[in-house]
A and B are shown apart, each in its own frame.
Chain A
Amino acid sequence: MKNNSKNNMIINLGPEKPLNPTGLSISVELEGEKIVKCTPQLGLTHRGLEKAAQDKDFSQYLPLVEKIDYLSAFFYAQAYLSALEGLSGIELPKKAQYIRVLTMELNRISSHLLWFGAFLMTLGTTTPVRLSYKLRDEILNIFEKLTGGRMSHNYYVFGGVKHDIPVEFLAEISTCLSNINKELKTLENMAAKNPIFTSRTMDIGVLNTQNAFEYSITGVNLRASGYNLDFRKEKPYLVYNELEFPTPTAFEGDVYSRYLLRIEEIKISINLVNQCIDWLLANEREKYSLNIDQNDIKPSAGRAVTCTESARGLVMCCLSTDGNNKAKRLKWRTPSFYTVQALGRLVPGHTLEDLNVVISSLDIVISEADR
């Protein structure tokens, strides 16, 4: 803590904060109780994952991809593998595509549920956290049974998925989701119907559409600011063009609308998973993988860019290869990297107690921003 010439107080928050498991360090300048400047500092979780791509061959790098954002492992694996598959000219079997969409949407639900718990904790409530973590745990149990891992799965392989989903297991997923759908109403009643909740979230942390574009914000945060851009619809990948789903948009751009949209996304994802389950039940006998030797991935020389709509926004994998079994250059465009930058615009004008609410409403994962 120190004072500057204008007698404003500068406070450094973090990097170790209970709600940011990976270190986000923020320096805020206070004029009385009001924040006048907010400077985030990145780099404390930098692991050189783009450099690692140049040292390891494609199959060795695959498990590392899921560590970029530990809450959206499937999205990153999909972005990476589709770049490789695109360069190799491979078309995935239909069943593999449906299984990937199913697991990604489950991933979206689990990520949003974790966000929901953490978000309400910043507002000082503890009861809904237990319920939302319990629901998330049910999805992690599904992941564990299916892939062997709860957080990082290594389930997607070049040319498909590692193994098939048994038909009996699909029924289990279905039951779990209907349970989540039911419990979600309880969660909503606990939060949104509470007058304290609405007074602390409405008109707080307002991000208008113009600023959202200037800071390159994507995903739910952009849709809450009044522009409908969802890369599942904009540049459809896998079988998203065969599935029916809305992309709701809000216009206020405040914390409350971001909350509403995330809850809405959970419901949409549940519906998407159910559509996938129906298809998988009807096409039980199709093949789920091309059975390619994973140690011999050699895409042709060239550049590939793939877009994936993760739980936090647009993930882009920009891969450049020269015909060898290693990447020449791999760049990850991660949504949190840009959201962190927008804090400098969003936070000033608020008080210190609103700072946590604004940060957590944006759903920032620092390991993703730092890579």
Chain B
Amino acid sequence: MQIESTKLFKTLEGLKKGGFISLISFVAEDLSQNPTEEDKFLLTYTLYNPVTKAFEVIETVVNSEIQSISSLYKSANYDEREIYDLFGIKFKNHPNLKRLFLEKDFEGHPLRNNYNTAETKTGRAL
């Protein structure tokens, strides 16, 4: 199901009340074609309803900022930190939006299409 990013939180809130209480996976993908283009990311949420054993896939396209759903699904906390770390998407109202994997002084977000791997600074200044 494709929905607008502004309606995402409301939709997921409704789905959670309807029994989709588990967020099985949360995937981000960079959709931009060339480096000059505006940021465009596809977020895919896969939900699971243990009573009806049904899966629901929600897709939304965002530019750089979206409402955090970590208050609805506890497992989304790390997922959102990971996506912030690797893609640079900001999640509004996230309780602790810090990098999850990379060091805090790392520059850039490696999974973006416009990230230049050759310019990665490795090692840490002591």
Neighbouring A residues of B75 by C-beta, 8 Å: 214-216, 338, 341
B101 and A46 within 8 A (CB) = yes
Known: A214-B73, A234-B53, A316-B24. 7 other contacts (CB 8 A): A42-B100, A43-B100, A46-B101, A51-B110, A214-B74, A216-B24, A331-B29
B117 and A55 within 8 A (CB) = yes
Looking at chain A, what size class is its interface with the partner chain?
20 to 34
A320 and B29 within 8 A (CB) = yes
**Complex Cα gap A55–B113 (Å):** 12
Is the CB of B77 closer than 8 A to any CB of chain A? Answer: yes
Is the CB of B97 closer than 8 A to any CB of chain A? Answer: no
Q: List 26 A-B contacts (CB under 8 A).
A: A42-B78, A43-B101, A43-B102, A46-B101, A48-B110, A50-B111, A51-B117, A54-B111, A213-B21, A213-B48, A213-B50, A214-B21, A214-B75, A215-B75, A216-B23, A229-B50, A316-B25, A318-B44, A328-B29, A329-B30, A331-B25, A331-B28, A333-B24, A338-B75, A338-B78, A341-B74
Least distance between A277 CB and chain B CB atoms (Å): 32
User: B residues 1-38 with Cβ under 8 Å of A?
Assistant: 21-25, 27-30
Contact of B50 among A227, A329, A341 (CB under 8 A): A227
B27 and A341 within 8 A (CB) = no
Neighbouring A residues of B46 by C-beta, 8 Å: 305
Least distance between A34 CB and chain B CB atoms (Å): 22
Chain A contact residues, CB within 8 Å of chain B = 42-43, 46, 48, 50-51, 54-55, 209-210, 213-216, 218, 227, 229, 234, 305, 314, 316, 318, 320, 328-329, 331, 333, 337-338, 340-341, 345, 370-371
**Complex Cα gap A305–B46 (Å):** 11
Number of interface residues of B (CB under 8 A): 28
A213 and B22 within 8 A (CB) = yes
Binding site secondary structure of chain A? mixed
Return the 3 tightest CB-CB contacts between A and B, nearest first: A216-B75, A46-B101, A213-B22
- Which chain A residue shows the least CB distance to B30? A329
Least distance between B96 CB and chain A CB atoms (Å): 10
The verdict on A214 contacting B30 (CB below 8 Å), with A42-B78, A50-B111, A51-B110 known, is no
Least distance between A210 CB and chain B CB atoms (Å): 8
Neighbouring A residues of B110 by C-beta, 8 Å: 48, 51
**Complex Cα gap A43–B86 (Å):** 12
Contact of A51 among B50, B53, B111 (CB under 8 A): B111
**Complex Cα gap A51–B29 (Å):** 12
Least distance between A26 CB and chain B CB atoms (Å): 15
**Complex Cα gap A215–B75 (Å):** 4
Neighbouring B residues of A370 by C-beta, 8 Å: 101
- Residue in A214, A218, A227, A305 with the greatest tally of chain B CB atoms within 10 Å: A214
Least distance between B30 CB and chain A CB atoms (Å): 7
